[in-house]
Structure 1
Amino acid sequence: MLEPQVDDGAISFARGFVKSDAFMLLFREGMGLVEQTASYLDGDGRAESAALPRDVALTYATESMRLTTRLMQIASWLLVQRAVAEGEMTAEQARAENNKVRMSDAAGQPAHDEVARLPQALRDLMAHSVRLQERIRHLEGQMSGAGLAREQANPVQDQLANLKARLGLGR
């Protein structure tokens, strides 16, 4: 279990986490997924996409670009955290770097029927990358202290406010 460390009165999990075995497992998983995806997109994925109907090929191209972007954001975050663990960067520098490369939302995802027509290998890579991104977002929230504030917020009210904003209500 990670021991929280106190910096200027705030609980910081960052320093302890980035030096943990759990982080190294996450790092290897993330970087392995980047390599696996690159190999797929340059190999089997290229052949699979060429055999798709035009409308599905367009979805394939869009989703492979989203996947690549998501993985580059993940890799950037992981590399910054590893730099902190190895003493090459301070936690403050890491926060500044992470602010430059924000993880995008999973919003704007294609309809289920569009995804269902994509090759299974691509769908598996997409799903794995989204799960990994959500884990990293959760960790980032904990490491920055935002996770604690979120836990104290009312999730039902947050969802209602989000829904109202999307529907243009409550202005």
Structure 2
Amino acid sequence: MTSTGANPINFAGRAANSPQFEALYAEGMTLVEETAAYLDGPGRAASKHLNAKAASLYSAESIRLTTRLMQLASWLLLQRSLNSGEMTREQVVQERRKLRLGGGGNEDEISAWSELPPGFRDLADHATRLETRIRKLDESLMRENATPEPANNQVIAQIDLLQTAFARR
């Protein structure tokens, strides 16, 4: 039996067009709304009671959190547009290049982090965890959308398929 090439299973593509994606989408959009409501209400009130150092950190981290959430929301909207057929894969890949997923700091390393309001810290932690999940899905999708090199050796091609199927997520 001869084979002309390997057809890898698109696990990430299936995950990105599934009920799990819809739950991820809902979680992300809800987090955007909750964060906006917090920053405009309880967060604004709480920030007035912070010392100068913590108030400055709160201001900077609020901007970082808002930026992170806008990048995540943009990614979710792009993926949803692809899933619904509003955009082609090429359009999504081109727009995806404009996004910056990751690159946020590690809040635990900031000395005054514990002085920030607990509600803010909870939202920032949730955003970081959501970003990690989205980044992993995005990396899988980008790998699967990359043009693979032709495999001359069928054994190597099968090993590559197995490595792809059992790769860490």
Whole-angstrom CA distance in 2 between matches of 1:92 and 1:15 = 14
Report the equivalent of 2:19: 21
Structure with the larger RCO, 1 or 2 (CA within 8 Å, 6+ apart)? 2
Matched-pair identity in %: 44
| TM-score (normalised: structure 2) | 0.76
Report the equivalent of 1:66: 64
Instruction: Point out where structure 2 has 5 or more consecutive residues left out of the alignment.
Output: 1-5, 145-162
User: Residue 112 of structure 1: CA displacement?
Assistant: 4.2
With over 3 angstroms needed to count, the CA separation of the structure-2 counterparts of 1:130 and 1:137, relative to structure 1, is: same
User: Residue 14 of structure 1: CA displacement?
Assistant: 5.1
Report the equivalent of 1:156: none
The one-letter amino acid paired with 2:87 is M
Q: CA RMSD in A?
A: 2.2
Report the equivalent of 2:40: 42
Residues 78-93 of structure 1 aligned to structure 2 (within 5 Å): 78-93=76-91
Report the equivalent of 2:131: 133
Q: SS of the residue aligned with 2:100?
A: coil
Instruction: Point out where structure 1 has 5 or more consecutive residues left out of the alignment.
Output: 1-7, 153-171
The runs of 4+ residues in structure 1 deviating greater than 2 Å are 8-19, 106-113
User: Residue 143 of structure 1: CA displacement?
Assistant: 1.2
Q: Which one has a bigger Cα radius of gyration?
A: 2
Whole-angstrom CA distance in 2 between matches of 1:87 and 1:17 = 16
Whole-angstrom CA distance in 1 between matches of 2:26 and 2:114 = 29
The count of residues paired between Structure 1 and Structure 2 equals 143
Kept after mapping to 2: 8 A contact 1:49/1:57: yes
